[in-house]
C-alpha cells in the first residue's frame, strides 16, 4: 500500500478482526479512524444494483464532484472496467479478502490523477445485507473533480493467520489443562 491512510485503515481493520477472517461491522468504530473518514466509504454488496454507496466521505464526494450516496460504485468506472470492478468487489465481499487497487481518473483539465483504492470486507451476519468499507485516496493533490475511473492494477492482501497460543499442561494422569497465552 502506498498511501498512509490505506495503511492506517488496514491496520485498524486487521486489529479489529482478531482471529476472524474479517471484523464484524459493529466492531468498527468511526471515532477510532476519524481522520480517515473523509476518504472512506461503505458499499452495500448488491451486485444487481451496481454496488451502491451506503456512505461516502466528504473528500470522496469532492474528488468525484458530487454526493455519491446511493449511486452505483461500479458506475464510477469506465464501461470497460465495470465488470472487473464488480468481480473485484465480489472477491472482497464473498471470500472476505482485503484488496488494494491502483486506479486513475481524468480530471476536467485533462490531467490524469493516480489513486489508491482499498477494499475491506466485514464479516457477514445472518439476515443482514453484506457490506464492505474502503478508501479512495489520490496519490497527488487534485485540483478539480475527476471523471470515469480506470482500474489499473489490484492485489489481494493476505492478512497474517492468527492462531491462538495454547499451552497444553498435563496436570494429573487423565487430566489435561489447556491454557491460552496472549
Burial track 133-170 (b if 16+ CB lie within 10 A, e otherwise): bbbbbbeeebeeebeebbbeebeebebeeeeeeeeeee
For residue 134, what is the domain's CATH number?
3.30.450.20
Query: What total number of domains does the chain contain?
Result: 1
**pLDDT tens sequence across 6-50:** 999 999 999 999 888 999 888 888 888 999 999 999 999 999 999
| Whole-angstrom distance, CA of residue 107 vs CA of residue 100 | 22
Q: Domain limits at 106?
A: 4-181
Sign of CA dihedral 138, 84, 112, 145: negative
pLDDT tens for each residue of 13-22: 999 998 889 9
Amino acid at each position: 500500500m502506498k498511501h498512509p491512510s490505506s495503511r492506517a485503515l488496514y491496520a485498524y481493520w486487521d486489529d479489529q478482526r482478531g482471529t476472524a477472517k474479517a471484523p464484524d461491522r459493529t466492531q468498527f468504530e468511526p471515532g477510532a479512524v476519524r481522520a480517515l473518514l473523509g476518504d472512506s466509504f461503505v458499499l452495500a454488496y448488491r451486485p444487481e444494483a451496481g454496488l451502491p454507496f451506503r456512505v461516502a466521505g466528504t473528500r470522496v464526494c469532492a474528488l468525484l464532484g458530487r454526493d455519491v450516496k446511493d449511486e452505483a460504485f461500479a458506475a464510477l468506472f469506465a464501461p470497460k472496467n465495470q465488470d472487473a470492478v464488480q468481480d473485484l468487489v465480489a472477491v472482497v465481499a464473498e471470500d472476505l479478502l482485503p484488496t488494494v487497487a491502483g486506479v486513475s481518473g481524468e480530471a476536467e483539465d485533462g490531467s490524469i490523477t493516480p489513486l489508491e483504492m482499498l477494499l475491506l470486507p466485514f464479516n457477514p451476519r445472518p439476515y443482514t445485507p453484506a457490506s464492505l468499507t474502503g478508501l479512495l485516496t489520490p496519490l497527488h493533490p487534485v485540483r478539480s473533480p475527476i471523471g470515469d475511473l480506470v482500474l489499473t492494477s489490484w492485489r489481494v492482501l493476505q492478512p497474517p493467520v492468527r492462531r491462538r497460543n495454547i499451552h497444553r499442561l498435563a496436570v494429573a494422569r487423565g487430566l489435561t489443562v489447556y491454557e491460552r497465552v496472549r
